[in-house]
Amino acid sequence: MVGNPDNIRRLEKKGVKPTAIRLLVADAILSAKRAVSLSDLEVILDTVDKSSIFRTLELFVKHHVVHAIDDGSGSIKYEICEGEEECTLDDMHIHFYCTVCHKTFCFKTIHIPFVEIPDGFSVESANYMLKGVCKDCAAHGHHAGDK
């Protein structure tokens, strides 16, 4: 089977059989170097059936291969989980949504701040989204508030 050996190991560790389609999707997400949507993956993997990509993403979320990001754009984005077992709160980091180019960026080195919550509540996931203008759009003269 052809595929990135790291992705083969990643899928196997998470209990996912590394089929050709699954490896293509994992490789595409990693190669993008940013969070990607189903639509992004359909363009990148134009020879792969849309429903196959969707089913693969659902499986990846279920097995903690990727985590889903709601950036408020109306399109869920996906990113590979770095953790060995599953996406934990420690794996969660800040995301940035550019209001000009509509891309979502992952700030992997900036973790979501710890928040003390009342007794009786337990946190399963956290989504910390910043919105503004990315550095590429700013370099082209766009500023916060531009659309």
**Binding site feature residues for Zn(2+):** 98, 101, 134, 137
Q: Which is nearest to 32 in space by CA: 42, 21, 19?
A: 42
Q: Which residues are annotated as a binding site?
A: 98, 101, 134, 137
The DSSP H or E segment spanning 2 is none
Determine whether 95 is exposed, middle or buried from the number of CB atoms within 10 Å of its CB (0-12, 13-18, 19+).
buried
| Residue 131 bridge partners (DSSP) | 97
Entry field: residues in the chain = 147
